[in-house]
């Protein structure tokens, strides 16, 4: 199967159709910086066919729908965390929406959201532009994270998809670096995955907001520690697509369907 994406348009990337828990397409993270405690700046991503994507949609705001309260120790759920020696980002246990945005609104892969193992949260994140794909990095390779899109009124739409990094191929999805943040005492490897809008059960190309979930308890998600970015949907504003955009999406959908039939 193929998901078409280029810088500006769409180039092919191998993926599998998703159901929760999800598989996801792979990509290579191209970055500068090689110290696990320092800045790791994302420059671009490379898809399996060699296509390079270097334009990203960034988080501009957040709404904490629910987040287990921090009362000391390993309590609470989502907090802000950063590499020991990074020049950007914050470390805040009782994180506000603004703290989370600080760590998610840049290309420093060593600024993350840290989640305690037993913590639960629901957090809405809003991108500056509509997106084609979600890119997720997870530290530790040992947790799960769920996501579902929101419409312009804040209602959940499409499918809730669980990406379980515990069951993904750790070699295929290895992001090529490790990070050592203030929350932990040593470097841990990072895995990465990509989700298309189609994977999330969506046909509208004007989506720019999503709700992210973690579940606690013995059968929960084991505290995902994550970074999120989007690849930018070109010439699509949030709202109703222009007729030309709809036509373009129809042509792209036909290419995707043809590629899948050929596969």
Using one digit for the tens of pLDDT, what is the confidence trace for 3-28?
222 222 222 233 333 333 455 899 99
| Cα atoms in the 13 Å half-sphere on the side-chain side of 166 | 12
| 38-81 pLDDT tens trace | 999 999 999 888 999 999 999 999 999 999 999 998 898 999 99
The stretch 215-232 carries a mean pLDDT of 94
Domains of the chain, by residue range, sit at 2-262
What pLDDT does residue 234 have?
Answer: 62
Average of pLDDT values for 216-241?
79
Mean pLDDT over 79-92 rounds to 98
By C-alpha distance, which of 114, 91, 105 is closest to 42? Answer: 105
Q: Is 222 left (phi over 0), alpha (psi -120 to 50) or beta?
A: left
Predicted TM-score (pTM) of the model is 0.81
Collapse the DSSP code of 102 into the 3-class scheme (helix H, G, I; strand E, B; otherwise coil) and give the result: helix
Q: Report the distance separating Cα 152 and Cα 197, nearest Å.
A: 16
Cα–Cα distance, 116 to 219 (Å, whole number): 14
Are residues 116 and 77 in contact, defined by beta-carbon separation less than 8 angstroms? Answer: yes
DSSP state of 199: G
DSSP H helical segments within the chain, as ranges? 97-104, 243-262
Three-state DSSP class for 78? strand
Measure CA 25 to chain center.
12
Per-residue pLDDT, 23: 57
When comparing pLDDT for 238 and 212, which is higher? 212
Chain segment 139-161, per-residue pLDDT in tens: 999 999 999 999 999 999 999 99
- How far apart (Å, rounded) are the C-alpha atoms in residues 83 and 91? 9
User: Average pLDDT over the chain, rounded to whole?
Assistant: 84
What's the Cα-to-Cα distance from 245 to each of 74, 112, 183, 240, 249, rounded to whole Å? 48, 34, 44, 10, 6
Between strands 111-115 and 78-82, the pairing is: antiparallel
Residue 93: other Cβ atoms inside 10 A = 18
Distance CA 41, CA 16 (A): 28
Contacts of 158 (CB under 8 A, 6+ apart): 148, 149, 200, 201, 202
* Total residue count of the chain as it appears in this document: 263
- Distance, CA of 222 to CA of 120 (rounded, Å): 9
How confident is the model over 226-251, as a mean pLDDT? 59
pLDDT in tens, 30-47: 999 989 999 999 999 998
């Amino acid at each position: 199967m193929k998901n078409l994406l280029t810088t500006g348009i769409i180039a092919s990337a191998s993926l599998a159709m998703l159901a929760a828990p999800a598989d996801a397409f792979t990509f290579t993270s191209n970055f500068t910086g090689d110290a696990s405690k320092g800045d790791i700046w994302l420059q671009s991503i490379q898809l399996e066919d060699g296509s390079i994507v270097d334009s990203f949609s960034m988080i501009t705001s957040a709404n904490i729908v629910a987040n287990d309260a921090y009362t000391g120790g390993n309590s609470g759920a989502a907090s802000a965390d950063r590499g020991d020696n990074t020049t950007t980002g914050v470390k805040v246990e009782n994180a506000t929406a603004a703290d989370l945005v600080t760590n998610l609104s840049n290309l420093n892969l060593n600024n993350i959201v840290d989640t305690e193992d037993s913590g639960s949260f629901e957090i809405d994140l809003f991108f500056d532009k509509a997106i084609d794909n979600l890119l997720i990095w997870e530290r530790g390779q040992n947790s799960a994270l769920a996501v579902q899109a929101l419409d312009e009124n804040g209602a959940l739409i499409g499918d809730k998809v669980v990406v379980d990094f515990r069951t993904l191929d750790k070699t295929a999805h290895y992001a090529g670096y490790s990070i050592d943040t203030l929350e932990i005492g040593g470097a841990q490897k990072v895995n990465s995955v990509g989700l298309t809008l189609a994977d999330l059960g969506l046909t509208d190309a004007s989506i720019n907001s999503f709700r992210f979930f973690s579940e606690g308890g013995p059968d929960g998600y084991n505290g995902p520690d994550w970074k999120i970015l989007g690849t930018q949907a070109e010439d699509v504003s949030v709202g109703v697509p222009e007729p030309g955009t709809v036509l373009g999406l129809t042509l792209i959908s036909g290419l995707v369907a043809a590629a899948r039939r050929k596969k």
